[in-house]
Amino acid sequence: MMPVPITVAIVDDEPLARLALKTRLAHRPGFELVAEYGDGDAAFHGLAALRPDLVFMDVEMPGRSGLEVLRALPVDSRPMAILVTAHDSFALQAFDLAALDYLLKPVDDDRFDEALGRARRAFPWRRNNEEVRLPAPWTRTFTIRTGTRTVIVRAVDVERIEADGDYATLYAGGKTHLVREPLHLLAMQLDPLCFQRVHRSAIVRIDMVEELRALTNRDALLRLRDGSLLRASRTYMPALLEALERHKSQGISQSLCG
């Protein structure tokens, strides 16, 4: 039996931006584009009637904004949302919409695939449980095999993850562990309430970020609680800023990540 495709709508007032998303989506199996809209009013009426599974929603549009469209839709018929923004000064109030991800224009291929990966993981829970939205089964433990030894590392204990060629290195409690899986796949498996990718080569646990210092090229320098310094690239800044605000506002604790 063929898997049920995830139906997708694209909302953006810029035709070229819509075309760029359509072109990328056409090369990703398992997704079916069913509608596109060029303004917030048309999007509101179209999404309410069509009820696609997923929407790529431009944040800032003339008239009704993307955030206003999503808020106006009933929660039980609101699609999974990947928000798209052209500005680093992202609308932090978006966290209450439970968006899957936040992409910065021009959209990066790795970030696009990462966002679609999150949609794939959340989709079965959306389709099978429309009334009670259960969280996707994010990774809670890592199984590390070294020779004849097997070590179980809890996600809650991981402070950051850095790319190591085709693999990744976990930093947890002063120890490092090599995971034989690429960083971009790990990013799709980790709970975005607890972890955020901040660079092509790095993921951090959100509550480890102690200071964020803006750089002149719109990247940022992160100082973690253990004194480590990591560079956050502008591509990942909207999602990171939103995650930090959500963490601050909701008081998300380690217990939710373990």
Q: What backbone torsions phi and psi does residue 130 show, to the nearest 5 degrees? A: -65, -35
Q: Is the model's pLDDT at 164 over the cut of 60?
A: yes
pLDDT for the residue 249: 66
Q: Which fold has domain 141-250?
A: OB fold (Dihydrolipoamide Acetyltransferase, E2P) (2.40.50)
CB 54 within 8 A of CB 28: no
Per-residue pLDDT, averaged over 107-128, amounts to 83
Tell me the sheet residues that pair with 31.
6
Check whether 191 has a pLDDT greater than 90: no
Ordered alpha helix ranges (H), 129-203: 183-189
pLDDT confidence band for 134 (50 / 70 / 90): very low
Its CATH class, for the domain covering 6-128, is alpha beta
Domain ranges of the chain: 6-128, 141-250
Q: Percent of the chain scored above 90 by pLDDT?
A: 50
Distance CA 26, CA 18 (A): 12
The pLDDT score that the predictor gives to residue 41 is 93
Contact 242, 144 (CB under 8 A): no
- Sort 38 into a burial class: Cβ within 10 Å, 0-12 / 13-18 / 19+: middle
pTM, to two decimals = 0.72
> What's the average model confidence in pLDDT over 80-86?
89
